[in-house]
Structure 1
Amino acid sequence: MRLVDEEGLTMIHPSDDLAIIAGQGTIGLEIVEALPDVATVLIALGSGGLSSGVAAAIKGLRPQARVFGVSMDRGAAMKASLEAGHPVEVEEFTSLADALCGGIGIPNKHAFSACQELLDDIILVTEEEIATGIRHAYEREGEVLEGAGAVGMAALLSGKVPPSSGPLVSIISGGNIDESLHGRVIGGEFNDKRVSV
């Protein structure tokens, strides 16, 4: 914001900008194109840009589909904001899903209301469940995922996703994980007390 003020640059919010949200929505369009009868969609939920865009597309084409945001169980800003009925600040904690950490922005103009209207619910996963999702992605799917990319798998593997009446999609995105941390998680060393994220 200092650069906006001092140099006249334009601020494009990474999650609370209508064009960014619409761009994220193309993922939802691709899902419905590939699976016209999709019944459930899991989306990593941080500040809400990805979730609101994908949910808008899914609900616009498949209103009966259920869309769940998935986040870590500590410092889930959008969940706290939705429960309060307005954007709130939350304490940030270290997490394997660090890309989902942080607030949604108190002057949130678009993502909050879209998530409020379009998400059917929010599923929270623990650090151990996220680690299990990262391991599963690597060992069973050959994918290197950061914690935020693995939260959907974590929700599925932990049994926290309600049964689906048709095809279920979990969006996995993000491989930005420190190689050493990934190795420790894959090696089963992850424990909140023993491995620092």
Structure 2
Amino acid sequence: MTAPLAVTLDDIERAALRLRGHIRHTPMLADPLLAGCLLKLEYRQITGAFKLRGATNAVLSLSPDQLARGVVTASTGNHGRALAHAARAAGGRAVVCLSHLVPDNKVQAIRDLGAEVRIIGQSQDEAMAEVTRAVAQEGLTEVPPFDHPDVVAGQGTLGLEILADCPAPGVVLIPLSGGGLAAGVAAAIRALSPATRIIGVSMERGAAMAASLAAGHAVEVQELPTLADSLGGGIGLANRVTFAMCRALLDDVVLVNEDEIAAAMRHIHSVTGDAVEGAAAVGVAALLAGRVACAPATVCILSGANIAPETFAQIMKGQSA
């Protein structure tokens, strides 16, 4: 018998009610250069990425005592920025643990929102060790970047928005990292549009969820530099929520290389005029490279735009890394 999912449509709908007035309903744009492709411009979210949904839902679900003592997380950048924003809006303290691989622009953006930043090690797993210590010794409450029901439910509200703007998508392409976005969006879409094909997309360099799904259990992978840096980091060997949900809900997982990500970033800029980060471009990369066929009403989630200007300038000059 299949175990029940940790996050259901009811959880996601409750999160949507909780988030009213705290997040934006981001636009959806038809791509004139990819017939049938719809771009969900989630990078126009308040903090520049989808992570605000899950972080805010988690913070708003805390008790007054937990909020007063403060929250802590490990992040590759966007979740830390979202948690800093959510905690400040709720009047709480946030501590964000980052590895040395996180780009400087993302580190500064977190500091600018009033969070305490701790730079630890060369991987998200090393940053997570500091989170564990802070919870045990400082009494902070952890708000994980993905593996938590409240975070997944918050990300799932993006699935509800997609269906509000495109009631019966043929395919939905979701950037895949720790699986919070993929699990939440897939849970919403699978419940309300069961015929939709749901595909997780990641980079070839260090795709932890893809490797874990292939192995049938959570595995560690080496975290490597990539244009899709927001998709880096492990899923946690003790993963409780997102691995099982991604295994149950995703129809396929596709990997793209650095040149394909760079080409997609340039394509998105030509269509929208905006600079998106590599993680946001992986779905479009899969379509442009022919790894996924562009069926009618194919929705690509463009997840974030927190990219260093100098990095994007290099990409526009034709450099992939």
What is the rounded CA distance, in whole Å, between the counterparts of 2:318 and 2:198 in structure 1?
Answer: 31
Classify the secondary structure of the residue corresponding to 2:254.
strand
Q: CA deviation at 1:162?
A: 3.2
Please, what TM-score do these two structures have when normalized by structure 2? 0.58
Unaligned runs of 5+ in 2: 1-131
Q: Which residue of the partner structure matches residue 101 of structure 1?
A: 232
C-alpha distance in 1 between matches for 2:319 and 2:265: 13
Residue of structure 2 aligned with 1:30, choices 155, 161, 180: 161
Report Cα offsets for 1:146-189 as digits up to 9, x if no partner. 0001111111111111352x311000021111111110100113
| Cα distance between partner residues in 2 of 1:143 and 1:171 | 14
User: Is residue 181 of structure 1 aligned with residue 302 of structure 2?
Assistant: no
- The alignment's TM-score, normalised by the length of structure 1, stands at 0.93
The answer for unaligned runs of 5 or more in structure 1 is none
Partner Cα distance (2:162, 2:264) in 1: 21
1:53 correspondence with 2:209: no
Partner of 2:8: none
Aligned to 2:258: 127
Question: Is the Cα–Cα contact under 8 Å of residues 218 and 243 in structure 2 kept in the other structure?
Answer: yes
Q: Does the 8 A contact of 2:287 with 2:294 survive in 1?
A: no
Deviation at 1:91, TM superposition (A): 1.0
Residue equivalent to 1:170: 300
Structure 2: how far apart are the matches of 1:33 and 1:140?
Answer: 23
Q: 1:40 aligns with which of 161, 171, 179?
A: 171
Deviation of 1:83 (Å): 0.9
Deviations 1:95-115 (A, max 9, x none): 000110110011100000000
1:12 shift after superposition: 1.4
User: Where does residue 205 of structure 2 map in the other structure?
Assistant: 74
2:271 and 2:134 mapped to 1: Cα distance? 45
Corresponding position: 1:145 with 2:286 = no
- Which amino acid is the alignment partner of residue 35 of structure 1? C
Q: Distance in 1 between matches of 2:311 and 2:246?
A: 31
Structure 1 segments (4+ residues) deviating >4 Å = none
Q: Deviations over 1:39-91 (max 9, x none)?
A: 10000000100000000000010111000000001211001101111100001
**Letter aligned with residue 186 of structure 1:** M
Report the AA paired with residue 175 of structure 1. A
Select between 53-62 and 170-179 the one with higher mean Cα deviation: 170-179
Partner Cα distance (2:268, 2:297) in 1: 19
- Structure 2 CA distance for partners of 1:176 and 1:49, relative to 1, 3 Å: same
Alignment correspondent of 2:196: 65
Give 1:34 deviation, angstroms.
Answer: 1.1
CA RMSD of aligned residues (A): 1.0
Q: Is 1:14 matched up with 2:145?
A: yes
Secondary structure of the structure 1 residue equivalent to 2:141: coil
Amino acid at match of 2:263: T
SS class of match (2:199):
strand
Number of aligned positions between the proteins: 190
- What displacement does 1:140 show? 2.5
